[in-house]
Amino acid sequence: HQHQHQHQDTHDEYDAFDSLDESELERRAIEDRKKRRDALMAKFDKGTQNTESTQSIQSTQQAQHTHPATPFTENLKGIVTDPHEGISAADYNYTLDRREDVDSGGVADGATDTATATATTTSPNPPSSDASDDDMFALQPSKKQKRSHTTTNTSKPSLPIDGSTDSEGYYMHTFGERLDNNRYIVFASLGVGMFSKVVRVKDTHAHDKEYAVKIIRSQESMKKAALKEVNLLERLKELDAEDRKHVVRIERTFEHRGHLCIVFESLGMNLREILKRFGANVGINIKALRAYAHQILLALSLLKKANVMHADMKPDNILVSENKALLKVCDLGSAADVSEGDITPYLVSRFYRAPEIILGLPYDTAIDMWSVGCTLYEMYTGQILFSGRSNNEMLKKMMELKGKFNHKMIKKGVYGTRKVDNNAHFTEHFDFISNEVDKMTNQASQMVAKTLPFSRPTKDLRDKIIPSIAEQKGMKEDEIKSLHAFADLLDKMLSLDPQKRISVRDALGHPFFTA
């Protein structure tokens, strides 16, 4: 990676979001990124320069034209990521990934995995409010009410179909419509997910204050799941009466034409949108990251106190306020009490899925710490850390970075060794069985099993975070120390063994935050 580091003379962590808004600085930053991209493409695309380098220049010019003119752009680190390495976190479309898990072995009942990588590694797709998964994340009202479903649900709506409910049980709202005895006025559509659609409303009982309303599909199973989420949110709200722990606040619920409606505080973008709009393939600077990471960990501390697993932590489920200083964890649709942790290999969106889930081990709140580690890596680098297309490939990528699993974990896992399960990931001698596409046919449907003995990592997490000695020239000493501390924190968050993974308390006390 090439690094361009910008320095800000401030002692307040939130000043990371209040950068210089000078056109000359922006022009220089854009020009420097262009030169670095051109050099990078020339390095990796020799032999096809006449075609591919032209495309690179065009895409770079387009990126310059569409890059938002906002102070937040000054928080970009300026890292230009090798376009041939990994998957862009900004391009990740999490609503389609469920299909890949189904294809690779089926999603267990009750699993709510809805994530995928459909992205290319070079040019990001434009943000789409239609790709939302029960989100409250879109900045602008949707002009079209489209919906893209990843699964076909054959269950029938629990109520007769009328003019307000479609054949799949979704409520069909209209702009200007009033909900709950005329209290709320609908003025924007924020997206459609598997369980609901989300709209933005104005509360006429509170001087037109804006809220987000999640309108649950009119199916009993959906309503039951939503009521569970409501109970968890109410419980968390009671434990955080002063609203200091950065979990989205539920306001109230009501029924509307047979649909359960949940009213939430209204926030702005999610962290994926931050990357899409301000840091595609780039990431945010270390000071902004520290502020966000601290708030996410405070949310985990509240969940830990309640003995609750979020079970779907990822950038898409973390909302940011309009001024980008405040962050809140949202979407507890997959959340559950630790005592409810049934063994299922498809819990949590795949790229953020902890190894103990994949191996079929008992799990607890440590799964959220793993997911947060993956999320923070994305926020800093702009790249997805583990982009496996299946659980098997996820394990392979984890071991490439972190080394071999201890035999105890493999032995205890339901999907550990073939001695226990024919579809397990390891031999009786604890060698990894990699399911790979047959190179002879190159057909994804024809997989071959290869035994891969892992002994030590083949990649280094620190190399992905800390710049080389040459690149450190001109950097402040405290910046370099911060990067080393961040790499150490990530390493501890991503311990393969959940028993050795850093706790929330220790993470909050880590030198990354305290030094």
What pLDDT digit, counting tens, does each position of 177-189 carry?
999 999 999 999 9
Catalytic residues: 312
- CATH 1.10.510.10 applies to domain 140-265: yes
> How far from each other are the two terminal CA atoms of the chain, in whole angstroms?
26
Q: Are 201 and 185 in contact (CB under 8 A)?
A: yes
CA distances from 164 to 134, 254, 367 (A): 19, 16, 39
Report the C-alpha gap between 205 and 184 in whole angstroms.
8
> What is the predicted pLDDT for the residue at 456?
75
78 Ramachandran zone, left/alpha/beta (phi>0; psi -120 to 50): left
Sheet with 178-179: list strands edge to edge: 178-179, 184-192, 196-203, 209-216, 259-265, 250-256
Report the C-alpha gap between 217 and 169 in whole angstroms.
5
Q: Are 151 and 217 in contact (CB under 8 A)?
A: no
Q: What's the mean per-residue pLDDT of the chain?
A: 76
Residue carrying structure tokens 């072995």: 105
37, exposed or middle or buried, with CB in 10 Å at 0-12, 13-18, 19+?
A: buried
Q: Which range has the worst mean pLDDT, 126-140, 234-248, 282-296, 494-508?
A: 126-140
Length of the chain: 515
Quote the tokens at residue 268: 């702005």
pLDDT category, 486, cuts 50, 70, 90?
very high
Residues making up the binding site for ATP? 214
> Is residue 340 scored above 60 in pLDDT?
yes
> Is residue 198 scored above 80 in pLDDT?
yes
Q: Are 384 and 89 in contact (CB under 8 A)?
A: yes
Segment 27-56 shows an average pLDDT of: 40
CA 434 to chain centre: 26
> Is residue 221 scored above 80 in pLDDT?
yes
Task: Tell me the backbone φ, ψ of residue 449, rounded to 5 degrees.
Answer: -95, 130
Which ranges in the chain are annotated with CATH 1.10.510.10? Answer: 140-265
Cα dihedral across residues 460, 462, 464, 468: positive or negative? negative
Indicate the pairing of strand 250-256 with strand 318-320.
unpaired
Report the C-alpha gap between 331 and 233 in whole angstroms.
10
Work out the percent of the chain whose per-residue pLDDT is above 70: 66
Cα dihedral across residues 369, 373, 374, 375: positive or negative? positive
Quote the tokens at residue 22: 């000078």
> Is residue 48 scored above 60 in pLDDT?
no
Q: Nearest to residue 424, comparing CAs of 395, 385, 389?
A: 395
Q: Are 320 and 329 in contact (CB under 8 A)?
A: no
Segment 119-146 shows an average pLDDT of: 32
What pLDDT digit, counting tens, does each position of 103-117 carry?
555 443 333 333 322
324 Ramachandran zone, left/alpha/beta (phi>0; psi -120 to 50): left
Q: Are 83 and 121 in contact (CB under 8 A)?
A: yes
Q: Is 276 helix (H, G, I), strand (E, B) or coil?
A: helix
> What is the predicted pLDDT for the residue at 98?
59
Work out the percent of the chain whose per-residue pLDDT is above 90: 51
What pLDDT digit, counting tens, does each position of 63-77 carry?
332 222 233 333 434
> Is residue 505 scored above 50 in pLDDT?
yes
Amino acid at 496: L
Q: Nearest to residue 250, comparing CAs of 328, 179, 310, 322?
A: 328
> Is residue 4 scored above 60 in pLDDT?
no
Report the C-alpha gap between 204 and 231 in whole angstroms.
26
Segment 408-422 shows an average pLDDT of: 84
Quote the tokens at residue 318: 């973390």
Segment 341-367 shows an average pLDDT of: 95
Residues making up the binding site? 214
Indicate the pairing of strand 336-337 with strand 250-256.
unpaired
> Is residue 359 scored above 90 in pLDDT?
yes
- pTM for the predicted model, two decimal places: 0.74
Residue 318 or residue 156, greater confidence: 318
Segment 295-304 shows an average pLDDT of: 98
The highest-confidence range among 34-43, 241-250, 465-474, by mean pLDDT, is: 241-250
Q: Give kind and range of the element (H or E) at residue 228.
A: helix 220-239
Residue 283 or residue 448, greater confidence: 283
